[in-house]
Structures are given as C-alpha cells and as structure tokens.
Amino acid sequence: MSTELEREVRKMIVDVLNLEDVSPEDIGVEEDLFSPDGLALDSIDALELGVAIQKTYGVKLDSKDEKLAEFFKNVRSIAAMIQARRSE
C-alpha cells in the first residue's frame, strides 16, 4: 500500500520531469527509476528531481553523499529519505 508521501513523490516525478505519457499511478513505488525497464531516468532527471525535493520538502541533499544514488533508486526510497531528513 502506498503512503501519501509516496503518492506525492510519484506526482512530483511526472510533473517536474514533464513525463507526458506517464501518470503517477503508472509508477510502481519499488520500480527502479533509472533502469531501462523502469522510467529510464538519467542524471539530469535526478538533478531536477533533487532540486524539486529540496524546494518542496526543505530537505538538504549533498551531491557528495555516497548514499544519494540509493535514495533515488525508487519512489519508496525517495519517500523514506524525505521522511528521515524532515525529522532531523
């Protein structure tokens, strides 16, 4: 079952990246966002998404953070990272 934050993240991905042929409901919460079988996002998409996450949720993202790629793996990991950093 998807949480409200996961729904928000899926909508953000579609809106920020202008994914015209994808609806938020089409994105599985554990779907690998960067694999060719998933949304096949690239580093530019990750950068745009990172900026939107920082603006929307007020969380800090450090490009030198070794776990950053892990955080952006899927909707569930993005939502978990936002949740954890908001409560810091």
Give the chain's domain count: 1
pTM, two decimals, is: 0.91
Full domain range(s) for residue 49:
4-86
pLDDT value of position 9? 97
pLDDT value of position 2? 60
pLDDT value of position 1? 46
pLDDT value of position 81? 94
pLDDT tens for 33-87 read: 999 999 999 999 999 999 999 999 999 898 888 888 889 999 999 999 999 988 7
CATH for 11: 1.10.1200.10
Nearest to 81 by CA among 41, 55, 44, 53: 53
